[in-house]
Amino acid sequence: MLKEFKTLVPYLRRYRWRYALGLLCLVAVDAAQLLLPQYLRRAVDSIAAGGPVRAIVMIGLSMALTAGAIASGRFLWRFFIHGASRRIETALRDRLFARLMTLPTSYFHGNSAGDIMARATNDMQAIRMATGMAFVAFVDGAFMSVAILAVMFVQNPGTTLLTIAPLPLITVLIVAFGRIVGKRFKRVQELYSEMSSVAQETLQGIRVVQSFVKEDEFARRFSVANDGYKKASMGLVKVNGLFFPLISFLAGLTTLVLVVAGGAAVIENRMTPGSLAAMLAYLEMLIWPMLGAGFTVNMIQRGAASLKRVNEVLDTEAEPRFAQGAAGAEARPEGGVSFRGLSLSYPGARAPALDGITIDLPAGKTLGVLGKVGSGKSSLCKTLARIVEPPRGAVLWGGVDVGSYPLEELRSAIGFVPQDSFLFSASIRENVLFSDPDLPEERFERAVAISALDRDKRLFSHGWDTVVGERGLTLSGGQKQRVAIARAVVRDPELLVLDDALSAVDTETEESIIEALIADRAGKTTIIVSNRVSTLRRADIVAVLDSGRLSQLGAPASLAAADGFYAEIAALQALSAEPVTGGEGR
């Protein structure tokens, strides 16, 4: 369990002075609290002896001053210790998010966003409690227990020995309780992640859910996940609900023993009434350290379970930023692109996604890629930016393995537009200028003109400053694709990759965009994935993929004249061609 806390060692060192000052204030508060029963003892004995009122008043003033000091000390230890735990939580969350930014795409395929969010929120809260309140409960409990027992033994060892008889049983219960809590809390966090994932998936796909009238089905799914989380949480509540009352009951037994044994001692004049009152006060103060031990174990177990989940992310191997090769640390890719016997398989897949692909695309030329669904078109494009890591020596850019370039340099030289265009909840202008908000206005205007987005400016309520909503919710599919194209074009990349990025626009708009792109990118390399032959006709070379293999490669005209998939698709699309409407559905 404690091995998980190794992650926190650097942060504990960083804030050690805050913890030290907080500890000093905490011990001072505890020491001051030990004085209060002594004031009570003196006051009771003075009253029993018929002492002067002035003595009682002075004792009361001393108690008030001590209480004021205790209040000030409590503020200070909270400021230092809880302040340190909050800073650790913030720093660890920053580290977690920074780590997520370095992980490969495959990690996010196997871990839902809801689960990741749970680790960054609920788990962080548990870690904060382990580094804050758990520390306080441990130190406070240990100091108070030792100090109170020492004082009680000095005052009346025989009565104290009888009074603390139930304490060993409490210790056994605390150890057993800690083991149960750790397992149950981990399960609670896992179910919270599942519930978050269901909620996020439903809200992200709300338009699809509503269009298929599946609201009740998804409400049922969330209800099942929510009920599972409730049951696990209630299981944890039951353990807590049983443990703490049981501890209180055993603590009450110690009070009963003290009243009986101490009362007899007072009657027999072996103890003064003030001493009994003081021991009762000390015993009441001793209940918190016993409960505090339970709180400490509870919070440490929860913190360890949450740290384990966070450490799973932090320990995941980051995406390689550099690789050994011919390119230097400052190298920027340029030149032609080559695939040399590229083969690629995904974990768990029965067949390879790509099998022996060999293509040479000279610098400044345009490659068109055609193929059925699942033929490997997207996988081929993703290897260029190392979104999917290709085998060494299989993908070259400028004669250099793409794995030899610094990852930042490699990806900054590529403008990649996937079919499923992701837009941020910001204005159209901010989405287009995502790579660099300070780019000149003329580059922005050129990008929206090339992507034919300027045609729709009048449709946007606030022009280019119109906020598109989460994931571009307020835009049509074609508009989202054109914003994404403009976002890639505005960077003026060495290599532009359109991965079926024109599937949602009409043919007239598509032809306009392709013509503008080719004219604008003279001398620069472009790859266009499309199932429209009208688009691929403008490419210099067309590669036809079939089940991960390269079935045809050549100029569009030569492929159209030869037997094969390209010619079949060209004939079918010629037969099914309809008049261009210029419309675009939402």
pLDDT per residue as tens, the chain (586 positions) = 567 888 898 999 999 999 999 999 999 998 998 888 888 888 888 887 777 888 888 888 988 999 999 999 999 999 999 999 999 999 999 999 988 888 877 777 777 777 788 888 888 988 998 899 888 888 888 888 888 888 888 877 877 777 777 777 776 776 677 667 667 777 887 788 788 878 877 876 776 777 667 788 888 888 888 898 888 888 888 877 777 777 777 777 777 777 887 788 778 787 788 888 888 888 778 777 766 776 787 788 888 888 888 888 888 887 665 554 444 445 678 889 999 999 998 877 788 999 999 999 999 899 999 998 889 898 999 999 888 889 988 999 988 999 888 888 888 889 888 877 788 888 888 988 888 888 888 888 998 899 888 888 888 888 888 888 777 777 888 888 889 999 998 888 899 999 888 888 888 888 888 888 888 888 889 999 988 888 888 889 999 999 899 998 999 989 888 888 888 888 887 776 655 444 444 3
CB atoms within 10 A of CB 406: 18
Cα–Cα dist 174/169, whole Å = 9
Q: Report yes or no on whether pTM surpasses 0.85.
A: no
Backbone angles phi, psi at 359, to 5 degrees: -140, 140
Residue that is written with structure tokens 């070379």 in the block: 541
Which residues are 451's β-sheet partners?
A: none
Which residues contact residue 140 at a Cβ distance below 8 angstroms, ignoring those fewer than 6 apart? 26, 30, 288, 289, 292
Q: What six digits make up the tokens of 313?
A: 């992310």
The size of the chain, in residues, is 586
422 three-state secondary structure: coil
Alpha helices by DSSP H, listed for 315-425, are 377-384, 407-412
Domain map (residue ranges) of the chain: 8-314, 414-492
Cα–Cα dist 125/118, whole Å = 10
Residue that is written with structure tokens 């040479």 in the block: 360
257 three-state secondary structure: helix
According to CATH, what is the number of the domain 414-492?
Answer: 3.40.50.300
**Superfamily covering domain 8-314:** ABC transporter type 1, transmembrane domain (1.20.1560.10)
Domains 8-314 and 414-492 share a fold: no
Which residues are 427's β-sheet partners?
A: 467
Instruction: Write the CA distances from 475 to 84, 107, 204, 582, integer angstroms.
Output: 45, 30, 15, 17
Cα–Cα dist 582/507, whole Å = 8
Q: Are 112 and 197 spatial neighbours (Cβ–Cβ below 8 Å)? A: yes
